[in-house]
Amino acid sequence: MIERYLVVLEDFMINEKLCILLNINEEFDRPTFINDLYIELGIIRQEFNMEDNKFIVLLDFSKVPYDISVIQEIYTIVNKVESHLIKNVDKFIIYKTNKDTDRILSLIEHHISRELFDMIVGDNNISDIINQALNDKNLLSNISHPVKKDSN
């Protein structure tokens, strides 16, 4: 595992929950991703002393094409790791969208459990706030605090 699929935003929390970015590129390999997902969540729990707390996963849908094979891959993976996601994730927040996001979500909705789908937040106001905070360090320091603090 060279680069993590899950990237912790150490300067950004929502409702006192650790936020994680999903980091997937074109060289994505399903078996490796599924295996690494379990490993990385465990590492993050240990690194940040999370115990039973759940995470918020930030999703960039601007990179998701309206391609049936890609969408099938998404819900196949989600269904394989569903119980682990429900146990570890509080919300999935879509912070970047594209023109097809609603259509993609509509397809996904019919192929994953209602419980898991209800964890997805795709609100434009929330997306705008998160995008602004991630790109403006002054705003970020006003609305959030670092997860880890230097002990010096």
Q: What is the pLDDT of residue 5?
A: 87
pLDDT at 53 over 70: yes
pLDDT in tens, 58-95: 999 988 899 999 899 999 999 999 999 999 999 999 98
Per-residue model confidence (pLDDT) at position 144 = 55
pLDDT tens for each residue of 111-132: 999 999 999 998 777 778 787 7
Mean pLDDT of the chain: 84
69 compared with 24, residue with greater pLDDT = 69
pLDDT top residue among 139 and 54: 54
Tokens 């998404």 sit on residue: 74
